[in-house]
Chain A
Amino acid sequence: MIRFGPGNLRIPKFERPVYVVAGGMTDFRKKYPEKNTCELVTEATRMAFEENDLKVSAEELRREVNWCVYSQFADHFGDQLLAASKVHDYLGFDPLGNIEVKTGGATGGSSVLAAAQAVASGYASCVPVVGWERMDEVPTKVGNSYIASAACKDFESELGWMYAAYYALMAQRYQYENEVPRETLAKIAIKNHGYARFSPYSQNPGEYTVEDVLNNDIVSDPLSVLECCVMSVGAATLVLADEETAYRLSDNPMKLSAICGGTHTLRTADRRNMPILLLPNETEETYKEYFNGRRHEWPGFSSFLASRMAAYLAYNMAGIHDPVEDFDILETHDAFTISDIQTYEDIGLRPYGRGREFIESGEAYHGAKLPTNMSGGLIGSMHAVGATGIFQIIELLWQLQGKWDKYHADPEIWTKYGKKKPDDFKSLQVDGCKKGCAISHAGTGSHVTCAVLEKP
C-alpha cells in the first residue's frame, strides 16, 4: 500500500506568479511530408510570436527569451536523438539554455510544468515551450509497436505491442464495475469529433451518430476506431513569462495559477490497493457506499491515481473547491472515450463510479456548465503527442482571452490549411470564461499533469 508521509502531499507553490502570454500551432495531419519537423515547429512558434496581438514585435520578443523547453514524446518516431538541439538551432535560440522533457503522453503538460518552474523560481523570465511529434514516417503497425514500447518491455509490450489493448483491459474492468451504457461512451466520441469540425487545425472532424460509433470497427474490445485518439503530425508553442515581462508583452496575459504532476506505476498490473485520496469536494462520507458489489479496490483498473494526485495538488494550489463550479472550461486528455470517463472521476467532476453523469447531464457541452474539449480533443483534433498538452493550454488561453473566434472562425485560416470552413460553422467561444483546466496524461496513467489557467 502506498502510504503518504508528511512531505509527500506538500502543496506546491510558485515563488512568483507565472503567466501565459501567447500560443501558436500548426494544423494537424495524419501525414505531413510537405514540411519537416524544424519547419513545423517554426510555423507554430512564429504564430505564437507574431499573431497574438502582442505589444512587441516578434524580433523584440526573441530578445526577451532566456530559456527554452522542448517537448517530444518519442525519439523512435522522430528517428533523431537530441532533436531539441536541432529545433533550438533552427529557431535561432542558440546559445540560450534549453531542456527537452519526456513523460510519454503527458510530455506537453510536463514541459509547461518545467517552464513554469523556471519562471516561478526566477531562473527565467520568458520561456517558449515548443512541442511536436511526427508519427507519419512508419506504417501504423510499426507506430503502434513504437507506442507500446512505452509499456514495460519485460512484462507487457510482448503482449500485443498495442497500447489500445492495455486501455481496453482497464475499460473492461471499469465497465464490469460501473456498467456505463455504450451510448454514453459514444456520446463522448460524437461530441469531440463534432467540436473538431469547427477547428481549422483538427485532423479528425466528423458528424456521427451513436450507431456510427457503436457499429464501428473494434480496435481492441470494447473500444471502436471512433473512440480512440489519432496519430498526428504537427507542432504547438506556448510562451510563459513572469508578471512584469508578461504585461510588457501583452495587455491580457493569463495567469497559470497552478500546474502540478502526479505519477503511478507504468504497469497497470502493479497498482496496489490503497485508500482513496480525497479532493476538496469529497469527504469519507462520499465513498461510504462505494466499495460494494463488484468494487473492491482503489485505484485498481478503474481509476488513475496519477490524475487524482495531480488534481489534488493543483486544486489545493489554485484554491479550487469544486471543479464543476469553479472552472468555466476544461480540456481533458481524451485518448479513449472510457478513459475520459475515468478522468472525470479522478479530477472530481463526479465521485468515483459516477463519471458517466458528467456526459449524461449535458454539462460537458458548449453553452452548458463546464464545456469540455471545445478543441475537439485527442479524439477529434489531434494527438501529435509532444504537442498535445501544449495545444490544450493554447486553446484555454484563447478562450480566456475571448479570442477563440480570431483563431478558428477566420475563413483565411481554413484556406491556409487547404480546408473549407463548414457552412454550419458555430462559434465555440465560451462567454464569460474566467478559469480553465487542462489535463495531460501518459501511459495507462503513468504521468499526469493538471493545469489551472485563469484571468488575473
Chain B
Amino acid sequence: MANPWPTAQAEVISESPLAIKNPKTWSHYHTYGGWGKFFQGLQQKKLLATRCTNAACGEKSLWLPPRCECVDCWHPTEWIEAPQSGEIVTWSLVKYPGELFRLPADTTLISVELEGVCTKLMSWLKDGKAEIGMKVKAVFNTDAPTNTILDLAWVPA
C-alpha cells in the first residue's frame, strides 16, 4: 500500500526564484545548572554573587553574574549576597528590540557598578531616566517570575 503525500503544504513565498516558508515552532529547554541558584535567589529578593574560596588565589572580588568556579584558579566559589544599591556605569535605550524581547521598545538597559563587585552587571531600569553616575537600587519580579535575568531590575535610589 502506497504512503500518502504530506498533508501540510509549505507556503510559497515567491514563484521565481522559488522560495517557500518552513514554519518552526518548538520550545528549547534552558539549562542553568549551578547558576540556577542566582535566578532562584531573585525570588527571595537576594542578589547572589560568588567569590573564590581558595586562600592562595589573588581574586577576592565578588562576581555578578556568578561563576561556580573561579576564573583565575578554577577553585569552587561561595555564594555571597551582593549590595542591592549601586551606580549606573552606562545605559542605552533599546529602540528596535529583537524578536524575543519580553519588554516594550524604549526600555532602558543599564550596567550597574556595585561596591565590592569587580564586574558591571547588565540589567534594566524599571523607572526613571538613566544617567551615568545615578544611584540605583535593585527591585525584583516575584509576582509572575520569568526565571530569567529580567526578574531583576533597578529604580532610582
List chain A positions with a Cβ less than 8 A from chain B.
1, 33-34, 79, 139, 141-145, 147-148, 152-162, 164-166, 168-173, 176, 217-222, 267-273, 301
CA distance A350 to B6 in the complex (A): 63
Is A160 touching B109 in the complex (CB atoms < 8 A)? yes
Selected from A155, A160, A171, the residue in CB contact (under 8 A) with B98 is A160
List chain B positions with a Cβ less than 8 A from chain A.
14, 17, 19, 22, 30, 32, 35, 58-59, 61, 63, 65, 89-102, 107, 109, 111, 118-124, 132, 146, 148-150
Task: Specify which chain B residues have a CB less than 8 angstroms from the CB of A169 in the assembled complex.
Answer: 90-92, 109, 111, 122
State whether A160 and B65 are in contact (beta carbons under 8 Å apart), knowing that A145-B100, A173-B90, A267-B122 are contacts in the complex.
Answer: no
Count: A-B pairs, CB below 8 Å: 132
* Cβ contacts A to B, 11 pairs, < 8 Å: A160-B97, A160-B101, A169-B111, A172-B92, A176-B90, A220-B93, A222-B92, A267-B65, A267-B122, A272-B118, A272-B119
Starting from the known contacts A155-B122, A172-B132, A220-B96, 19 additional A-B residue pairs (CB-CB under 8 Å) come to A141-B98, A141-B99, A144-B98, A156-B122, A158-B146, A158-B148, A159-B109, A160-B94, A160-B97, A161-B101, A162-B97, A172-B90, A173-B111, A173-B132, A218-B93, A220-B95, A269-B120, A270-B65, A272-B118
Is A154 touching B35 in the complex (CB atoms < 8 A)? yes
Task: Specify which chain A residues have a CB less than 8 angstroms from the CB of B101 in the assembled complex.
Answer: 158, 160-162
What is the distance, in angstroms, from B47's C-beta to the closest C-beta of chain A? 13
Task: Specify which chain B residues have a CB less than 8 angstroms from the CB of A168 in the assembled complex.
Answer: 92-93, 109
CA distance A269 to B111 in the complex (A): 7
Task: Specify which chain B residues have a CB less than 8 angstroms from the CB of A220 in the assembled complex.
Answer: 92-96
Task: Specify which chain A residues have a CB less than 8 angstroms from the CB of B59 in the assembled complex.
Answer: 1
Task: Specify which chain A residues have a CB less than 8 angstroms from the CB of B150 in the assembled complex.
Answer: 158-159
What is the distance, in angstroms, from B52's C-beta to the closest C-beta of chain A? 13
Is A269 touching B98 in the complex (CB atoms < 8 A)? no
Is B98 touching A142 in the complex (CB atoms < 8 A)? yes
Task: Specify which chain A residues have a CB less than 8 angstroms from the CB of B120 in the assembled complex.
Answer: 268-269, 301
- Of chain A, the residue at the smallest CB distance from B28 is A153
- Of chain B, the residue at the smallest CB distance from A167 is B92
Selected from B65, B89, B93, B107, the residue in CB contact (under 8 A) with A301 is B89
Task: Specify which chain A residues have a CB less than 8 angstroms from the CB of B149 in the assembled complex.
Answer: 154-156, 158-159
- Of chain A, the residue at the smallest CB distance from B65 is A155
- Of chain B, the residue at the smallest CB distance from A153 is B30
What is the distance, in angstroms, from B93's C-beta to the closest C-beta of chain A? 4
